[in-house]
Amino acid sequence: MKESVVVAMSGGVDSSAAAYLLKREGYNVIGMTLKTWPKELCDTVPKSQTCCSTRDIEDARAVAAHLGIPFYVVEASVPFKSQVMDYFVESYSKGRTPNPCVVCNRKIKTGILLEKAQALGIERLATGHYASVVWDEKRKRHAVRQAVDGNKDQSYVLYQLTQEQLSRLILPMGELTKQQVREAAREAGLAVADKPESMELCFIPDGDTQGFLKARVPQAFTPGEIVSRSGAVLGTHQGIAAYTVGQRKGLGIAHATPLYVLDLDPAANRVIVGEEQELAASVCRVEEVRWMAIPGLTEPLAAQVKVRYRSGKLPARLVPDGESVRVEFDQPVQGGVSPGQAAVFYDGDVVLGGGWIA
């Protein structure tokens, strides 16, 4: 019998091409889309700015019909709100810069869809992420490897996936470039072959993050003092949630040299600023660490670390520190690190693990 696989279909070109390619390889493909947001949200913004909206669901449904595969819509708006959106809002209110895609990929996209697949008696799940799943025979562990297309690589947002999830995951995009994916979609006659990519968070399609946050945590926009490291008051900020570490624009301070946000102090409702060189970070502490290619860390280990989704990998030393990991960079990180963001550890192009910058 053909092996069955559920393909997570978002209505975009990547997941649509994944469904086509797997069917071409001989898999019995079942399309499945998560409904994470109510219809009203995306009815007022251009379709090119949406992701995971009801209109994207219809695109996915049309692709499934074109390919002749079964298609299901899975209601996930309640867990998506509680586990992704609420986390996002809470992080900003605490002066942290969250990464909701990391949480969504483990708990919602992979977590819920694998459960639904297994309820249908199907043990494999595929997504359109640009990365690959690899097996280390020596360590007897699964891991994620960076994509061939470095500009599209999404290994960073997959570091939280468990061994169980990885053992059932297929990532067809890992060995392809974006151009090759679009060509495959055109070859299949898919209407989404040239669909624009969504560049915003799926639950903030208009890109107005501050408007979204103000409606949910207005207390995080209480004005307060902007101060230097020494405590000198330099100005007034518009609320902790309106700022992130490394921010330069929008401070409203006249100063001889450009000033940057160095830190946020929600308890005192203060924004701490300083000059660019003060941002440089030689060390950071990483909490809630999850390991992937290795079972854990018992002694210092040389690795490479990404501190932002779009940053390069930086050589560093990982030092176990209780339940946390102390990351000692070979060279100071210019631009600093942002508490709340993920620090993902690599051995070459393979993900070792990662956690949240504290």
Give the residue from 142, 149, 140 showing the smallest Cα distance to 169: 142
Q: Which two tokens stand for residue 69?
A: 């595969």
Q: Roughly how many angstroms between the first and final C-alpha of the chain, as a whole number?
A: 49
Kindly state the helix (H) or strand (E) to which residue 184 belongs, with its residue range: helix 178-187
- Asked about 52 being catalytic, the answer comes back as no
Distance separating alpha carbons of residues 117 and 31, to the nearest angstrom: 10
Contact in structure between 160 and 203 (CB atoms under 8 Å): no
Radius of gyration of the chain (CA): 22
Distances (CA, A) of 148 to 12, 36, 152, 159, 193: 20, 30, 9, 17, 20
Catalytic residue of the set 42, 51, 52, 202:
202
Beta partners for residue 123, in sequence order = none
- Dihedral (CA of 235, 241, 246, 250) sign: negative
Give the residue from 56, 9, 49 showing the smallest Cα distance to 29: 9
Length in residues, the chain = 358
Distance separating alpha carbons of residues 48 and 55, to the nearest angstrom: 10
Judging by DSSP bridges, how do beta strands 4-8 and 350-357 pair with one another? Answer: unpaired
**DSSP annotation of 198:** P
- Dihedral (CA of 256, 257, 261, 262) sign: negative
Q: Which two tokens stand for residue 283?
A: 């060390």
- Asked about 104 being catalytic, the answer comes back as yes
User: How many beta carbons lie within 10 A of that of residue 224, not counting itself?
Assistant: 16
Distance separating alpha carbons of residues 290 and 280, to the nearest angstrom: 26
Q: Which two tokens stand for residue 354?
A: 């990662």
Catalytic residue of the set 51, 52, 104, 284:
104
Catalytic (active-site) positions: 104, 202
